[in-house]
Amino acid sequence: MHELSIVLSIVDLAEEQVRKNNAQRVENIELDIGSMAGVEWDALDFAWTAGVKNSVLENAHRQVNRITALARCLQCQHEFEITQPFEPCPACHDYLVEYIQGKELRVKSLTVS
């Protein structure tokens, strides 16, 4: 389950920010996670509970922004919502597409105190 390693990386980042700001803990954390980032939502929730225990994030309010994946067809330039890798363009059925959004996996903001 790579979701636990994701959570532990977020904990490391949060602890670094708490140290840099001479704070004690994180009040709020906001995450942007794209639908094509390869994250299993239930596994992330499970890993979060275990991964933040006894850390600066243990009592933090967590907000997760789920970013819908959008792609652009490289043949006809049509933009569309994509739900799985290698999905063809609904306009011309070509498979050469580029992701516009939906692969995000980032900490958008932290509030420390």
* CATH number of the domain that residue 72 is part of: 3.30.2320.80
Length of the chain: 113
Range of the domain at 76: 2-112
Q: Categorize the per-residue pLDDT at 63 as very low, low, confident or very high, splitting at 50, 70 and 90.
A: very high
- pLDDT for residue 44: 96
- With a CB cutoff of 8 Å and minimum separation 6, the contacts of 73 are 79, 80, 89, 91, 92, 94, 96, 97
SS3 percent helix, strand, coil of the chain, rounded to 5, is 25, 30, 40
Q: Categorize the per-residue pLDDT at 1 as very low, low, confident or very high, splitting at 50, 70 and 90.
A: low
Question: What pTM was estimated for this model as a whole?
Answer: 0.88
- pLDDT for residue 98: 96
Q: For the segment 19-57, what is each residue's pLDDT rounded down to a tens digit?
A: 999 999 999 999 999 999 999 999 999 999 999 999 999
Number of domains in the chain: 1
Q: How far is CA 28 from the centre of its chain?
A: 16
Q: What 3-state DSSP class applies to 108?
A: strand
pLDDT mean over 55-78: 97
Q: Are 60 and 29 in contact (CB under 8 A)?
A: yes
According to DSSP, residue 55 is labeled: S
Q: Categorize the per-residue pLDDT at 88 as very low, low, confident or very high, splitting at 50, 70 and 90.
A: very high
